[in-house]
Structure 1
Amino acid sequence: MRRRLVAVLAFIPLLACARDLPAPAAIDAEVARLLKETGAKGLAIAVIDEGRPVHVAAHGVRNTAGDPLQVDTIMYGASLTKAVFAYTVMQQVEQGRMGLDTPLADSLPKPLPAYVSPQIVDRYADWSALDERWRKLTPRILLTHSSGFANFGFLEPDEKLHFHFDPGSRYAYSGDGLNTLQFVMETGLGIDVGAQTTRIFEGLGMHRTSLIWRPDFAGNLADGWDAKGNVEPHDERSKVRAAGSMDTTIADLAKFVAAYVRGDGLSRKGRAELVRPQLPITTRSQFPSLQDELPAAQRRKDLAAGLGVVVFDGPQGHGFFKGGHNDTTANTLVCVEAGQRCVVILSNDVRVERRFPDLVRFVLGDTGVPYDWEYGTP
Structure 2
Amino acid sequence: IMYGASLTKAAFAYMVLQLVDEGLVDLDRPIADYLDRPIPDYEGWAVLEGDEDWRRVTPRHVLTHTTGLHNLRFLEPNRDLKFHFTPGDAYAYSGEGFWLLQLMLEEGLGLDVKEEMQRRMFDRFDMPNTSMQWREDFADNLADGYAMDGSFEPHDERSNVAASGSMDTTIADQAKMWRGMLAGEGLSAASRAEWVRPQFPIRTAQKFPTIENYDTSDPRGEPINLSAGLGVETWDGPQGRAFAKGGHNPWTGNIVICQEVEERCLVLLGNSVRAEIIYPEIVEFVLGETDYPWWWTYPALHDPE
TM-score by length of 1: 0.76
Aligned residue type for 2:186: G
Residues 279-288 or 243-252, more deviating: 279-288
Q: Verify the 8 A CA contact 1:114 1:128 in the aligned structure 2.
A: no
Q: Which amino acid aligns with 1:167?
A: P
1:358 to 261, 281, 285: 281
How far the C-alpha of 1:97 sits from its partner, in A, is: 1.1
Change (3 A) 1:179 1:203: same
- Relative contact order (alpha carbons < 8 A, sep ≥ 6): 1 or 2 greater? 1
Q: Do residues 140 (structure 1) and 67 (structure 2) align? A: no
Aligned counterpart in structure 1 of residue 149 of structure 2, from 220, 228, 235: 228
Q: Note the residue ranges of structure 1 that are not aligned, 5 or more in a row.
A: 1-73
**SS at 1:319 equivalent:** strand
> Which of 319, 324, 329 lines up with 2:247 in the alignment?
324
Cα deviations across residues 89-127 of structure 1 (Å, max 9, x unaligned)?
0011111111111111210111101113xxxx3xxx664
In structure 2, the partner of 1:92 is: 19
The residue correspondences of 1:24-35 to structure 2 (distance < 5 A) are none
CA contact (8 A) 1:130 1:161 kept: no
Work out whether residues 204 and 217 of structure 2, in 8 Å CA contact, stay in contact via their aligned partners in 1: no
Q: State whether structure 2 residue 208 is matched by structure 1 residue 295.
A: no
For 1:349, the equivalent position in structure 2 comes to 272
Name which of 190, 198, 211 aligns with 1:269: 190
CA distance in 2, matches of 1:317, 1:272: 14
Cα distance in structure 1, aligned partners of 2:219 and 2:251 = 37
Number of equivalent positions: 298
Aligned to 2:100: 180
Contact 1:130 1:163 in 2 (8 A): no
Does the 8 Å contact 2:205/2:218 carry over to 1?
no
CA deviation vs aligned residue, 1:123-155 (integer Å, no higher than 9, x gap): xx6644560011110000011000001111111
1:1-378 equivalences in 2 (<5 Å):
74-116=1-43, 121=44, 127-129=47-49, 131-199=51-119, 200-290=121-211, 291-295=213-217, 300-301=222-223, 302-376=225-299, 377=302, 378=304
For residue 8 of structure 2, give the secondary structure of its aligned residue in structure 1: helix
Report SS of the residue matched to 2:155: coil
The letter for the 2-side match of 1:91 is Q
AA partner of residue 88 (structure 1): M
Over residues 239-265 of structure 1, what are the superposed CA-to-partner deviations in whole Å (9 max), with x where a residue is unaligned?
A: 110111000001111000000111111
Q: How big is the shift at 1:285? A: 1.1
Aligned match of 1:69: none
The change in CA–CA distance for 1:298 and 1:208 in structure 2 (over 3 A counts) is closer
Larger radius of gyration: 1
| Per-residue Cα deviation, 1:56-84 (whole angstroms, up to 9, x for no partner) | xxxxxxxxxxxxxxxxxx00000100000
Instruction: Provide TM-score, normalisation by structure 2.
Output: 0.94
Structure 1's consecutive aligned runs of 4 or more residues displaced over 3 angstroms after TM superposition are 125-130, 294-299
What is the distance in 1 between the residues matched to 2:8 and 2:110? 21
Cα distance in 2, alignment partners of residues 111 and 193 from structure 1: 21
Separation (CA, whole Å) in 2 of partners of 1:315 and 1:279:
21
- Match of 2:258, SS state, is strand
How far 1:296 moved relative to its partner?
Answer: 7.7
